[in-house]
Amino acid sequence: MTIFSVRHITSYRYKRPVEFGDHKLLFRPRDSFDQTLLSSRLLIDPEPKYIRWIHDVFGNCVAVIGFAQPADELRFETVIRLDHTPHVAIDLQIDEAALTYPFSYDADEALDLERTIQRHYADPDEQVSKWARQFVRIGQSTDTGHLLMTMCYAIHEGFVNARRYEHGTQAPIETLRLRRGTCRDFALLMMEAARSLGFAARFVTGYIYVPDRDGSTTLGGGSTHAWCQIYLPGAGWAEFDPTNGIVGNRDLIRVGVARDPKQAMPLWGSYDGTAADYQGMSVQVNVTTDDRILAEIS
């Protein structure tokens, strides 16, 4: 059991005061048996006209924020504190019928999992499918857990994690071709590869704790993070982080889940102005295992 504190600051700068449309903020972690939200704090400048909370179609907790006054800077600061317990669902009891691949989902579950099983991105030459099939034994049974873990480790070991300044997420065939990308790109590649084999997969956005003071080589810290979940009968939604080669939720703080990365942006909104008015943005994320962050801003 670990107590994590996360401080996340996002600032947008403009050449002149502009008016803002509604913004939606996804930062509040999903309460579950393996992580419990202890406290949360939201600071916004300029002061918003209103903040209202909703649950989106995936059950994520989203803050909808409206503004009344123009400004030349828009700043969001969130601080959360949560109790986190490492959990590796794949080590638990997978239904006997699903221990080896291929298997079929129960009819009732398959109905609800249908859209997460379907592929979402074009693969005209079956490049992603062919890449995924290399993890399946030919002519003999394949251990389901081993298949998915090997796929996760193959991305971690065979691809280069590199920051991209373009918006959005790369198509899986592009990530496969380049052998490089961001955590969002790697999560999506694993999702589509698993889907090509008939697995249900979904996208996860959140944070990762990186113990760099201990000399860790873990990647992905200092910003929001992304990974994926695969649904395994008996074990449920199991976490796979191909960026860091993590199976299970170790050091991963789950905030939101979605069928596609486009549906899980940490922060999105609009302003009334021209493209030339926008000067840029900055993001700062700190994840610690103590109360230092909270003490600094008290």
Residue 188 lies in a domain: yes
Provide the pLDDT for residue 139: 83
Q: Are residues 104 and 164 in the same domain?
A: yes
Task: Please write the tens of the pLDDT for every residue from 79-110.
Answer: 999 999 998 877 667 999 999 999 999 999 99
Q: Are residues 126 and 207 in the same domain?
A: yes
Residue 286 sits in a domain of what CATH number? Answer: 2.60.40.2250
Q: Are residues 138 and 237 in the same domain?
A: yes
163 pLDDT band, cuts 50/70/90, is confident
Q: Are residues 66 and 159 in the same domain?
A: no
Residue 254 lies in a domain: no
Q: Are residues 155 and 207 in the same domain?
A: yes
> What are the Cα distances from residue 185, in Å, to 57, 155, 189, 220, 274?
23, 11, 6, 12, 30
Q: How is residue 138 written in tokens?
A: 């030919």
Q: Are residues 124 and 242 in the same domain?
A: yes
Residue 257 lies in a domain: no
Task: Please write the tens of the pLDDT for every residue from 242-271.
Answer: 999 999 999 999 999 999 999 999 999 999
- Give dist(CA 167, CA 169) in Å, integer: 7
Task: Please write the tens of the pLDDT for every residue from 191-206.
Answer: 999 999 999 999 999 9
In the chain, the number of structural domains is 2
Q: Are residues 53 and 183 in the same domain?
A: no
Query: Which residues have C-beta within 8 Å of that of residue 286, sequence separation ≥ 6?
Result: 6, 7, 222, 293
This prediction has a pTM of: 0.92
Range of the domain at 59: 2-84+265-297
What is the bridge-based pairing of β-strands 160-161 and 180-181? parallel
Torsion of the alpha carbons at 95, 261, 84 and 60, rounded to the nearest 10: -90
Q: Are residues 179 and 73 in the same domain?
A: no
Q: Are residues 77 and 109 in the same domain?
A: no
Residue 215 sits in a domain of what CATH number? Answer: 3.10.620.30
